[in-house]
A and B are shown apart, each in its own frame.
Chain A
């Protein structure tokens, strides 16, 4: 605007060349949003009784203490091992089951209802039963994380398969491709965007499942820090694992996005989205 006013004032003969304003990069917007949110939390959080709430600098301080004593790293590795195993298994099993369910009518009719029901399963209520079956250790945590994250992956894959254009499958058929080849070389790549969306959705559920598992089985890992510090009214320390888990979920989601662009580069190109 200043630009235009000046030119008008000097009575420039040439029309002002419109300066193309470059749009703000997305990361700048994200960082600005974070600064505003954290700033507000810091300012207003200080007025709250430290038992009822906390604020970023206090949480950072508590986090530093946890990291310094080594408690944080031990807890993190305790939590991440079952997380990675359970989540990995969910991908390894959820994707093929979803593919087959979507592709074959008989399979869909036979097991589709269990997948739909499983997604809505109130897992928290079943944890005590799982403990009876699997004990209090590693296995039960893997099971809880697996059961929470396998269904969104499976359902998304299943839905994705049913959305594959019929004509692409006919291309396979007209070149006499066997069913397995059609599944692997046409249905699977065509479904990849759905599969990746399912894997993304499952991150959040897997993180929640991890904490549930740590609360309800042997109290350990990040969940243990949450419980013990909450019991000691040390709210700032309680927030440390919560923040870490949320940051971890964001990181994983980004990582999955990067993997998606790597395995399905054509998708972003077709959609015309530049990163």
Chain B
């Protein structure tokens, strides 16, 4: 099981600009649910609060109001039931790929031969069997993020929380990674909450899309594409893809329209 629910999440923080104190409402009463085994994309323009919502779900930030539950249990901080994939992978630069994955496992209490074997297995799962002993600076951007995904998956969390994980990659690598993520999902059936600002990515990957604006949920849409999805190039040619993409684009466009 792995069901994440955000109940009425609010978040405000204070900013001091030129001596004046502003209260910024980053999130107001954000509620949505990610069902077991589902991929939900959280999309919206910069500053809409999507990353904040994810960080609250992870427990890296606390909400000013509302609560997050994973399988009905309230989140009070970081936990091994959630695995975080950071925007820029954030591998520890002094550790090899293998040691980076082992770090997460060790924190979960794993020791001995099982530790190394598990870390190796997850790196193989993301296609890095040949690069176990490389340090982060010897890995390409895509490879780094694969290690980041392996590190999060290895602790076998109920939910994978991904913060624009492919945002820093070039277009081609990004497409490869999207396909790989879908394959990984087909194999592990992990629940995934995926923050992105990329329209195509949201539609290609997700079962449902949560569109956010100004810290509020504007719309929740279902993507009418079945799983397993064929080659993503084929998906792009499907009318359902074009239609959903247009609907999300419109929702986002309205967001921008109300701003100006």
Q: What residues make up the interface of A, taking CB atoms closer than 8 Å to B?
A: 167-168, 170-177, 181, 185-186, 189-190, 264, 266, 269-270
Contact partner of A185 among B79, B84, B88, B103, CB < 8 A?
Answer: B103
B90 CB contacts on chain A under 8 angstroms: 167-168, 170-171
B138 CB contacts on chain A under 8 angstroms: 269
B108 at the interface (CB under 8 A from A): yes
How many residue pairs link A and B with beta carbons under 8 A? The number is 53
Known pairs A185-B103, A266-B137, A270-B137; A173 contacts B78 (CB<8 A): yes
B79 CB contacts on chain A under 8 angstroms: 176
B223 at the interface (CB under 8 A from A): no
A186 CB contacts on chain B under 8 angstroms: 92
Chain A nearest CB: distance from B141 CB in Å?
A: 15
Q: What residues make up the interface of B, taking CB atoms closer than 8 Å to A?
A: 58-60, 77-80, 82-84, 86, 88, 90, 92-94, 103-104, 107-108, 135, 137-138, 155
Chain A nearest CB: distance from B80 CB in Å?
A: 6
Chain A nearest CB: distance from B18 CB in Å?
A: 24
Known pairs A189-B94, A269-B137, A270-B137; A171 contacts B86 (CB<8 A): yes
Contact partner of A167 among B58, B78, B80, B86, CB < 8 A?
Answer: B86
Chain A nearest CB: distance from B145 CB in Å?
A: 14
Decide if B88 touches A269 in the complex (CB within 8 Å): no
Chain B contact residues: helix, strand, loop or mixed: loop
Decide if A176 touches B92 in the complex (CB within 8 Å): no
Decide if A174 touches B94 in the complex (CB within 8 Å): no
Decide if B78 touches A269 in the complex (CB within 8 Å): no
Decide if A173 touches B60 in the complex (CB within 8 Å): yes
How many angstroms between the C-alpha atoms of A185 and B92 in the bound complex? Answer: 9
Name which residue of chain B comes closest to A271, CB basis.
B137
Decide if B103 touches A189 in the complex (CB within 8 Å): no
Contact partner of A175 among B93, B94, B108, CB < 8 A?
Answer: B108
Chain B nearest CB: distance from A165 CB in Å?
A: 8
Residue of A175, A177, A269, A270 ringed by the most chain B CB atoms within 10 A:
A175
Decide if A175 touches B103 in the complex (CB within 8 Å): yes
How many angstroms between the C-alpha atoms of A264 and B95 in the bound complex? Answer: 11
How many angstroms between the C-alpha atoms of A177 and B93 in the bound complex? Answer: 17
Chain B nearest CB: distance from A193 CB in Å?
A: 11
Report the 3 A-B pairs with minimum CB-CB distance, sorted nearest first. A175-B107, A174-B84, A175-B104
Chain B nearest CB: distance from A58 CB in Å?
A: 50
Chain A nearest CB: distance from B155 CB in Å?
A: 7
CB<8 Å pairs between A and B, sample of 20: A167-B88, A170-B86, A174-B58, A174-B84, A175-B78, A175-B103, A175-B104, A175-B107, A175-B108, A175-B155, A176-B78, A176-B79, A176-B80, A177-B107, A185-B103, A186-B92, A189-B92, A266-B135, A269-B135, A270-B93
B80 CB contacts on chain A under 8 angstroms: 175-176
Known pairs A266-B135, A266-B137, A269-B137; A174 contacts B92 (CB<8 A): no
